[in-house]
Amino acid sequence: MSYMLYIVILIEIYTVLSLSLNVVVGYAGLVTLAQAALYGVGAYVATLLMVNLHWGFLPALLLAVVGTVLSSFLITAASMRFKGDYFILAALAFQVIVYSVINNWVTVTKGPFGIAGIPKPDLFGIHLDSLLTFSLFGLVITVMVGGLIYMVLHSAFGRTLQAIRDDEIAATTLGKKASSFKIRSIAISAGCAAVAGTLYATFITYIDPSTFTTDDSLLLLCMVLLGGTGNFKGPIVGAVILVLLPEALRLLAIPDSVSANLRMIIYGIALIVMMLVRPQGIAGKYKFES
């Protein structure tokens, strides 16, 4: 039972990550390899506040969101000066630089040793120290974040964002300032990634840089691209696959040493095949047409 709850909590965290990444990849149409870095910024800010300054969960969460959103402006500021295709590079630059900082700024982040002893959330008098309560709490957060993203994507903002994605020039001549929409969609994505990061930190009670690498960004991108882009259920499908695939491999008695690589090979092949036959992913809607 506790194993199942563990899986459920992971699915919750990855659903939040996946939905947030989809705002940028599926709705703004920008492929980004920075999501793990944003996830990491959120996790580290929340952790440092809770561990070093003994802040409570909610204030730490709030500041983690604010901090991550602010950091996302570095990506957009850099990429606004680059042209369209270079956004990928700006995002990747952010990812690489953030990881280097997390990994090397040992005095603050303790580098590769990570930070342990992150307190479980303590909300309105309830101490969430059991798997069950945490999973329920995670569910509440996931639904709230999901609801927020849903509202945003189904509003005029979401509609215009998709118009810009589908034909930026036509949208510009209709009065839409593309850069403003892209910046805001990335900010929303960053804020939600920070929520996932805070959840993750308080769940595992230990974080280190190895969760927030370029390969992790790659994995998150695969998750969204395979599950489906440009609609709401695609990313959820992607999150479920991401969490369940390693478990499935374990059931097939594949040794752990090979399992991680095999998983990536499956993703890689799926990606190649998908882009050829079904670019919108398993359950998605947006096909990345030029």
Partner 1 sequence: MNPNMASNFLLETVSLSKSFDGVKAVDSVSIQIPERTITTIIGPNGAGKTTLFNIISGLIVEDSGVVRYKDKSLNDTPAWNRSAAGIGRLWQDVRLFKNMTAMENLLVAGRKQAGEKILDLFFQPHKVGAIEKENRQQALEILELFGLAEKRNTISEDLSYGQQKLIALGRLLMNNSDLLLLDEPTAGVNPVIIEKLLEHILNLVKNGKTVLMIEHDVPKAMAISDMIYVMDNGRIALSGSPSEILSNTQLKEIYVGV
Partner 2 sequence: MTSIFLQIFINGLIVGLVYALVALGFNIIYRGTKVFHIAHGAIYTSAPYFFLGWVLLTGSTHFTNIGSSLFLGLVSAIVITCLLSALIELIVYRPHFMKGSSSVITFVSSLGVYIVVINLIAIFFGNTIRYLYPGLQPTLTFWGVRVTQMQVIEFIVSIISIIGFFILLEKSSLGRKIRAVSDNSTLANVLGISAKRIRVQVFLVGSLLASIASLLIAFDVGVTPFVGMSAVLTAAVAVIIGGVNSYRGSVVGAILLGLSQNVVIWFLSDQWKDAVTFLILVIVLVCRRQGLLSAKMRLEEK
Interface contacts to partner 2, rule CB under 8 A: 29, 31, 78, 81-83, 85-86, 88-90, 92-93, 96-97, 100-101, 103-104, 168-169, 214, 218, 221-222, 225, 258, 261-262, 264-265, 267-272, 275-276, 279, 288-290
d(Cα 193, Cα 41) in Å, to the nearest integer?
9
Looking at beta carbons only, is 7 or 219 nearer to partner 2? Answer: 219
Contact 84, 164 (CB under 8 A): no
- Closest distance to partner 1 from the beta carbon of 147 (Å): 11
Stretch that binds partner 1, among 114-122, 177-185, 237-245, 265-273 (CB under 8 A): 177-185
Q: Which does 93 bind (CB under 5 to 8 A by kind): partner 1, partner 2, none?
A: partner 2
CB atoms within 10 A of CB 61: 25
Phi and psi at residue 36, to the nearest 5°:
-65, -35
Backbone φ and ψ of 178, nearest 5°:
-55, -40
d(CA 182, CA 204): 33
Of the candidate residues 7, 74, 111, 176, the single one contacting partner 1 (CB under 8 A): 176
The distance of closest approach from Cβ of residue 89 to partner 2 in the complex, given in angstroms and rounded to an integer, is: 7
Asked whether position 68 contacts partner 1 by CB under 8 A, the answer is: no
Beta bridge partners of 207: 115
Distance CA 114, CA 130 (A): 23
Cβ-contact 87, 210 below 8 angstroms: no
Is 116 a binding residue for partner 1 by CB under 8 A? The answer is no
Q: At residue 69, what is the residue type?
A: V
| Closer CB to partner 1, 256 or 289, in the complex | 289
Residue ranges that bind partner 1, judged by CB under 8 A: 151-152, 155-157, 159-160, 162-163, 166-167, 169-178, 181, 184, 188, 285-286, 289
